[in-house]
């Protein structure tokens, strides 16, 4: 819950208000790392509700580290990638947004808005698949206004992958030509590419296998990347055909290296 302003019926001082929030286990907006801590809270709550897989905590922690190194903001390389992604999604025949536990709790509402704007199909597709969690995530998204969300069908498979994580929807990922996969694993990204799909990844780690295997990688936090794609959708004229993902990833890596080199305590 985000509290921007507070007027206390019993005239609590600011200090007492902060103690009060701490008491009821909330983070005061004045905390210097408020935004980041709120995202952490969302993930933790997601685990409690059975939406985020327990290993999603680890994935989030890794993401936090890279976001910290990136200064927790969108850089030109990420915005350019978001622009290219918007042009691909808008020009796709059957664009699909793949949603997992982490992405649902961090950016569910923004994903729904992006799908509405672009006509993309939303599919809950999980690495650690269980029907119960797919159902919970779909319900969670429906409560935010999402409609026609695929995921329960499980009537097709991503070729070349073993186990449950290959299961997908025929009318969703299986049929899709451009697939947006936030927080994906490298294996599945590679398998989707082998099926002839164009893959757009959102991954804060420019070194991950997903980042290197995808056609377009947006090295940014999903909470900033999805609204950026949506914003760029508004001014798409034609598809950006020339996209050098390796160069873009190198730009992200160079940024991190230079920042580390120039940081002082
Ligand atoms: O809900 P499920 O079962 O589909 O599982 C989802 C997770 C994320 C647990 C699963 O896909 C997984 O284990 O992912 P990995 O292999 O840990 O990769 C997650 C990647 O996402 C890492 O490279 C992180 O740096 C990156 N990441 C984490 N948080 C964010 C992020 N990228 C963008 N925005 C974030 N908020």
Minimum CA distance residue for ligand 1 atom 35? 221
- Say if residue 3's pLDDT is above 70: no
**Share above pLDDT 70 across residues of the chain, in percent, rounded to a whole number:** 91
pLDDT at site 14:
66
Task: Give bridge partners of residue 96 from the DSSP assignment.
Answer: 121, 179
- Say if residue 2's pLDDT is above 70: no
Q: Which atom of ligand 1 is nearest to the CA of 55?
A: 9
Minimum CA distance residue for ligand 1 atom 30? 63
Instruction: Output the CA 34–ligand 1 centroid distance in Å.
Output: 21
**Secondary structure (DSSP) of 128-149:** S--HHHHHHHHHHHHHTT--S-
Helix (H, G, I), strand (E, B) or coil at 95: strand
Q: Which atom of ligand 1 is nearest to the CA of 183?
A: 21
Instruction: Output the CA 170–ligand 1 centroid distance in Å.
Output: 24
- pLDDT tens-digit map of 123-156: 999 999 999 999 999 999 999 999 999 999 999 9
Ligand 1: residues within 6 Å at CB?
Answer: 53, 55-56, 59-60, 62-63, 66, 100-102, 106, 126-128, 183, 185, 202-205, 208, 221-222
Mean pLDDT of the chain: 92
Q: Please give the CATH number for the structural domain made up of 76-259.
A: 3.40.50.12640
Average pLDDT (112-132) is 97
Q: Is 182 exposed, middle or buried (0-12, 13-18, 19+ CB in 10 A)?
A: buried
Average pLDDT (107-131) is 97
Instruction: Output the CA 225–ligand 1 centroid distance in Å.
Output: 14
CA distances 151 to 129, 132, 213, 228, Å, are: 10, 11, 24, 25
- pLDDT tens-digit map of 165-174: 899 999 999 9
pTM of the complete model beyond 0.85:
yes
The residues, any chain, with a CB within 8 Å of residue 169's CB and separated by 6 or more, are 123, 125, 150, 151, 153, 154, 155, 156
- pLDDT tens-digit map of 218-229: 999 999 999 999
pLDDT at site 185:
82
Domain range list for the chain = 1-31, 76-259
Give 1's pLDDT tier (boundaries 50, 70, 90). very low
pLDDT at site 33:
85
Minimum CA distance residue for ligand 1 atom 23? 205
- pLDDT tens-digit map of 9-64: 456 676 666 565 555 567 778 887 888 889 999 999 999 999 999 999 999 999 99
Instruction: Output the CA 60–ligand 1 centroid distance in Å.
Output: 6
Minimum CA distance residue for ligand 1 atom 5? 127
Please name the helix (run of DSSP H) or strand (run of DSSP E) that holds residue 220, with its range, or none. none
């Amino acid at each position: 819950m985000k509290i921007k302003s507070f007027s206390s019926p019993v005239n609590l001082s600011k200090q007492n208000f902060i103690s009060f929030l701490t008491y009821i286990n909330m983070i005061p907006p004045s905390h210097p790392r408020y935004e980041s801590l709120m995202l952490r809270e969302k993930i933790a709550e997601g685990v409690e509700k059975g939406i985020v897989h327990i290993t999603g905590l680890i994935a989030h922690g890794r993401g936090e580290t890279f976001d910290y190194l990136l200064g927790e903001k969108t850089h030109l390389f990420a915005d350019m990638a978001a622009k290219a992604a918007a042009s691909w999604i808008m020009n796709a025949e059957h664009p699909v947004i793949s949603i997992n536990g982490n992405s649902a709790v961090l950016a569910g509402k923004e994903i729904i808005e992006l799908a509405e704007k672009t006509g993309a199909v939303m599919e809950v597709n999980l690495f650690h698949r269980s029907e119960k969690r797919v159902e919970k995530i779909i319900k969670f998204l429906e409560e935010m206004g999402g409609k026609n969300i695929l995921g329960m069908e499980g009537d097709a498979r991503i070729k070349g992958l073993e186990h449950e994580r290959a299961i997908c929807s025929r009318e969703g990922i299986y049929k899709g030509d451009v697939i947006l996969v936030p927080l994906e694993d490298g294996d599945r990204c590679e398998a989707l590419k082998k099926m002839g799909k164009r893959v757009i990844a959102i991954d804060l780690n420019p070194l991950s296998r997903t980042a290197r295997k995808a056609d377009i990688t947006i090295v940014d936090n999903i909470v900033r990347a999805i609204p950026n794609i949506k914003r760029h959708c508004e001014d798409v004229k034609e598809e950006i055909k020339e996209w050098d993902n390796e160069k873009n990833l190198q730009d992200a890596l160079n940024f991190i290296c230079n920042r580390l080199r120039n940081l002082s305590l």
